[in-house]
Amino acid sequence: MANPREQKPVLHTKKHIARLERERQQTRWILISFIGIVVIVIGLLVYGYLDIKYLQARRTIAKVGDVNLTIGEWQARIRLERNRLLRMELQYQQYAQYFGMDLSSQIQQIEAQLNSPTTLGQTVLDRMIDEELIRQEAAKRGITVSEADIDQAIQESYQYFPNGTPTPTITPTSITFPTLSPDTLAIVTITPTPTEFLTPTLTLTPTLDLTASPTAAIPPTATPTLGPTATITPTASITPTATPYTLEEFQKNYKDGADSLMKLGLTEAQIRQLYANNLLRAKLFDVITADTPRTQEQVWARHILVKDEATAKQVEDRLAKGEDFATIAKEMSTDTGSAVVGGDLGWFGKGAMVPEFETAAFSLKVGEISQPIQSQYGYHIIQVLAHENVPLDASAYEQARQTAFSDWLTKARDEYKVQTFDVWQSIVPTDPASLSASQ
């Protein structure tokens, strides 16, 4: 007898089976798509992390010859520069606090650099390009530095001198101005002295050389005395004994300095390269500037400065009638600095005066008086008293060498086909923002 509870088998039609298969396929595709999306998202996150941590750091920011400068090293150098600026700012603040010095303008300049990432990024990039140009040119000329040279430079930057402190030598120099020509002596009998008329005034801001001593700590600032101090009256002759600076102390100081730089992203090899860069620059500098002339073409001139063309015409008329140049200068020149000495400007070379004045002065013959020359200061009537090659003093000669080396660096960019890639404006580090953040 049949069991009334027994279920009869379900018979599926072909249409029903096809529908179930389609549903299974749709479910499978949805699952596959979901897994694919998850994989893509995870892949993008991993790539983004790797790009920031590794791949981006290896991208090229500039190319010097066949050498690529990478974003990673550039970013580390920016952090190093920011750390240097922050330390300098702190030092200025301490000087202002302890000694009452007004260093507000210097502090503002530092803050402006820290708050302008693009400008700071460009400055550091230019510095790195110059360093690579120097490395490649030095290699071409056979100029090298040894590991021993680098070790010595590091020791000296930490004031560690195992062979004794070097004694500086000073070589006195004297400057002899050229013998005045008869034409000059026929005009005046006074001795020319250099003046500062129209010479650009530079505001010098003390800076710390980034590459000269990259790991050395900034010298400690003075600590004010907060209370009375005892006075010791010696009862016998006492010879002070210097505390020895041991090798172990130097090694510890260097390790501490290097560790702080490694936190900014530099490797120890890169730290040593900073010292090598400085040594190579000094050696190549001497070679490049070896032929820098020790004399400079200069003129000795005097002038009468007036405010308008009509007044200049009056001066011309009086000179044409034979009146004395110096007398008119004392009476009419608005350049009060030179007027008291008859308009005398002393000796000056090219680049010292405004362009209009310079062009006229160097084109005049000795004794010749110019037509009125207009500049931003007014109208000049110029007379050249002498035109010679004048010896450079030590400061002027060093400046001439610096200019020659800068000119070489500019030309070297074309020679070595320097390329820069504008991929960095949005990735300039803004850290450390404080010294505590860099510790």
- pLDDT tens, residue by residue, 256-305: 999 999 999 999 999 999 999 999 999 999 999 999 999 999 999 999 99
426/431 Cα distance (integer angstroms): 14
181/166 Cα distance (integer angstroms): 46
> In terms of pLDDT, which residue wins out, 24 or 438?
24
Average pLDDT over residues 394-416: 95
Q: Is the pLDDT of residue 239 over 60?
A: no
Query: Is the Cβ–Cβ distance between 392 and 295 less than 8 Å?
Result: yes
**Please, which pLDDT band fits residue 420 given cuts at 50, 70 and 90?**
very high
> In terms of pLDDT, which residue wins out, 56 or 239?
56
Longest pairwise C-alpha distance within the chain: 155
Dihedral sign for Cα 338, 344, 347, 352, please.
positive
**CA angle, residues 125, 127, 133, in degrees to nearest 5:** 105
Dihedral sign for Cα 313, 316, 318, 321, please.
negative
Q: 28-55, pLDDT tens digit by residue?
A: 888 888 888 877 877 777 656 655 555 6
341/350 Cα distance (integer angstroms): 22
Cα distance between the two ends of the chain: 93
- Among 59-63, 231-235, 319-323, which is the least confidently predicted range? 231-235
What lies within 8 Å, CB to CB, of 95 at 6+ separation is: 101, 103, 221
**Please, which pLDDT band fits residue 237 given cuts at 50, 70 and 90?**
very low
Q: Is the pLDDT of residue 439 over 70?
A: no
Please give the distance of CA 433 from its chain centroid, rounded to a whole number.
21
**Per-residue model confidence (pLDDT) at position 275:** 97
- Find residue 347's DSSP bridge partners: 300
**Per-residue model confidence (pLDDT) at position 225:** 35
Q: 302-355, pLDDT tens digit by residue?
A: 999 999 999 999 999 999 999 999 999 999 999 999 999 999 999 999 889 999
- Find residue 69's DSSP bridge partners: 62
Average pLDDT over residues 193-207: 38
Q: 79-121, pLDDT tens digit by residue?
A: 999 999 999 999 999 999 999 999 999 999 999 999 999 999 9
Average pLDDT over residues 409-438: 90
Q: 156-178, pLDDT tens digit by residue?
A: 999 999 887 776 655 544 445 55
**Per-residue model confidence (pLDDT) at position 182:** 63
Range among 13-17, 46-50, 64-68, 99-103 with highest mean pLDDT value: 64-68
Average pLDDT of the residues of the chain: 83
**Per-residue model confidence (pLDDT) at position 218:** 36
**Per-residue model confidence (pLDDT) at position 286:** 98
> In the chain, pLDDT over 90 holds for what percent of residues?
63
**Per-residue model confidence (pLDDT) at position 208:** 35
